[in-house]
Chain A
C-alpha cells in the first residue's frame, strides 16, 4: 500500500525528516509516536501534499505511483486521507456541501457518476450514526462553532464517507476528553478493514488503548529509531521518550 523510502524533507532550509523508511501493507494499522519536534506533523503534511516542504531525497510509493509527484487533491482522489490535527473552521461553506463536493471529486476520479441528492443523504445519514453526530451538523458551516470533540468526529465522518485506502490520523486524540476519544476511536475501528491502511500519528499512548495498532514506530529527530508491536508503546508510556535519543 505505502512504501516510504529514505525520505528527507526540509522547511526553510532546515532538515526535519532525515531519512524515513516505512512500509505499510494493506489492512495494517501503524502508530508513529514521538516527542514534540520529532517531525510527526511534517511527515503527515508531506504525505498529504501540503505546500511549503522541500523534499530533498527519497520517494513515497503508494499504489505503484510516487505520491510526491501528485498534487494534494490528486492524492485525495486516489484514496489518501489526512485527518487534521487542527481541523479548520470555514464559515459559509456548509458541511453537507463539503461532503458532497469531496465525495464527488473521489467518485469522478473513479469514473463513477455523482450521487443524486436522495442517495447522498441516505449515505451520509448512515455515516453520521457511526460517529454519533446529529444531522443538524450537516447544515452548519464546516466546523463552525464546533467543540474540539465535534471537530474530530467531523473528520472521522469525512473519512467514513470517503472510504480512503490510506488514512493518516494526525494527533486525532489531542484535545479530546475520554468520551469523545471513545466515540472517535469506535468510528475508526469500524473503518478498519483488510483493504484499508491506517497510519496514526500521536504523542501519547492513550489513543492506542482504543485503537490497537499492529505496529508501533518511534520517530525521533526525523528518523524512525525503533519499531515494534503494541508493547513498545506501553514501554514508552512508562519510560518516556528520553531513552530513545540515548539509544539512538
Chain B
C-alpha cells in the first residue's frame, strides 16, 4: 500500500505522503481493509481544531515534521531491556523502533491456551483477522484510518476459553532514537475468549530526545465473563508525538480494568473507548497524567452503556507543572435500553504552577430513565493546611510538597489488583516527582 502524494492530502496529513506499508501486500483481507481506509483518509485527513474532539489539541507542530518510516538498525542489549522493563520474570514482547525483536522478547514456554505473536507474521495476521478493525471506526477518526493504512507491526494476543494466564504480559515498545524522526504505526489486538483472564501492560519508552511519532491502536475483545487487566505506561521522549487509540468491546459479565499513565511525550493524545455490549459487563477506566515544561497531554475517553445492568467507574487524575497543558474529555453515554446503569466518572487536577492549563470536560449523555450516574471534575492546588501540617512535623517545604503531590497522584493506582504492578508503577511515579514539581 502506498500513500497518496502531498497534493491530494489535507495540509495536516502531508508528513505521510508517499509512504509505503509493506506488511501483508498479498493478504487479500488486509489489502481490502487498507483500501477502505485510504478512501476515508483521503476524505478526512487529520483533524484540525475545528473538529470538536480536537478543539484543544493542535496537530500543527506534527504537520511541520518530516517523518522517516524506515528504521535503521539499532542495538538494545538484553541487560538494558531488563532495566527498562517494569516487571521481571514475565512474558515479554519487545518492539524496537517499530520492529519486533525475537531476541529480546521472552515468549518461551507460553501457558497452554495463550498465543502471543507479532502482527508482522503469518500467524499474527491470521489470529488478528477476525477482530482487527472491528473495535474502531475508521470513518470517525483520521488517525485510525492512517494507522490502518500504515500499520506494520504490533502484538496479537489470544487467550482460549476458560484459561487464566498466570504471568503478566509486558509489551515494551522502545524508540531508541537511532533513526531521527522515526514514525511507527502499531496495531495490537487482544482477544479474550469466554471465562478467560489475563493481565497485559503496554509500556512505551523513548531513549533520546529525538523527534518521533508513535501512532498506535490497541483493540481488545472480551467475550462472556472474560477479565482483562490492562495497563499502559507512556514514557516517550520529550520531543515525541504519541497518538493512541485503545478500544474494547465487552460481552456480558466481562470486566475490563484499564489504567492509562502518561508521563512522557511532547504531545500525547489518548482515545480510550469501551463498548459495554453484554449485561453485567463492567469497566474500570482509570488514568494519570503528569505534565511539565511545555508538554501537552490530551485524554479523550468514552464509555457506551448499550444494554441493561452495566457498570463503569472512571477516575482520571492529572498533575500539571510549568507551562504544560492537559485536556480531559470524558464521555459516558447511557443508551436508551441501558436501564440500571451505574456509572461514575471523575477527573481531578492538581496545578503546581501558574503557567499551566487544563481543559476538563466530563460529559454524560443519558437516554435511559432508571440509572445511577455521577460525574465531576476538580481543579486545585496543594492544600496549604496539609502543607503546614507536614512542615510542623519537620518536613522541609520541598519534601512536603513532593509528598503531597505523590499522594495525590498515586491514588489513581488503588484499583489495580496486583500488588506487584501497583508497586512498580508507584515507584515510576515517585521517581518522576523528586523535587515537589513534576
Interface residues of A (CB under 8 A from B): 48-51, 71-73, 75-77, 81-82, 84, 87-88, 90-93, 97-98, 101-102, 105-106, 109, 141, 158, 162
Contacts and interface: CB of A to CB of B under 8 A. Distances in A.
Contacts of B383: 88
- Size bracket, chain B contacts: 20 to 34
Most buried by B among A102, A141, A158: A102
B412 to A, nearest CB: 10
Contact of B394 (A76, A91, A92, A97): A76
**Considering the complex of A and B, which 7 residue pairs feature the smallest CB-CB distances, nearest first?**
A92-B407, A105-B394, A76-B394, A102-B393, A72-B391, A73-B391, A93-B407
15 contacts: A49-B391, A71-B391, A72-B391, A72-B392, A76-B394, A82-B392, A88-B389, A90-B404, A91-B407, A92-B408, A97-B403, A98-B393, A102-B394, A105-B393, A109-B394
Contacts of A82: 392
Contact of A93 (B391, B396, B404): B404
A105 B386 contact: no
Contacts, number: 71
Contact of A88 (B385, B407, B411): B385
B422 to A, nearest CB: 13
A151 to B, nearest CB: 12
Contacts of B396: 73, 105
Nearest to A102: B393
Contact of B386 (A76, A88, A101, A109): A88
Given A88-B385, A92-B410, A48 B404 contact: no
B122 interface: no
Contacts of B399: 101
Nearest to A79: B394
Contact of B392 (A76, A97, A141): A76
A77 B397 CA distance: 13
A174 B177 CA distance: 62
Given A73-B396, A101-B399, A105-B395, A91 B388 contact: no
B268 to A, nearest CB: 24
Contacts of B392: 48-50, 72-73, 75-76, 81-82, 84
Contacts of A75: 392
Most buried by B among A48, A75, A88: A88
B241 interface: no
B328 interface: no
Contacts of B390: 90, 98, 101
A81 to B, nearest CB: 8
Nearest to A141: B407
A97 B411 CA distance: 15
Given A73-B396, A73-B397, A101-B399, A90 B391 contact: no
Contact of B395 (A88, A102, A141, A162): A102
A77 B394 contact: yes
Contacts of B406: 92
Contact of A90 (B384, B394, B407, B410): B407
A81 B391 CA distance: 11
A91 B403 CA distance: 11
Contacts of B408: 92
Contacts of B384: 51
Nearest to B389: A88
B175 to A, nearest CB: 32
Contacts of A97: 403
A141 B411 CA distance: 11
B429 to A, nearest CB: 11
Most buried by B among A49, A81, A93: A93
A82 B391 CA distance: 11
B320 to A, nearest CB: 18
Interface in B406-427: 406-408, 410-411
A106 B394 CA distance: 6
Given A91-B411, A102-B393, A72 B388 contact: yes
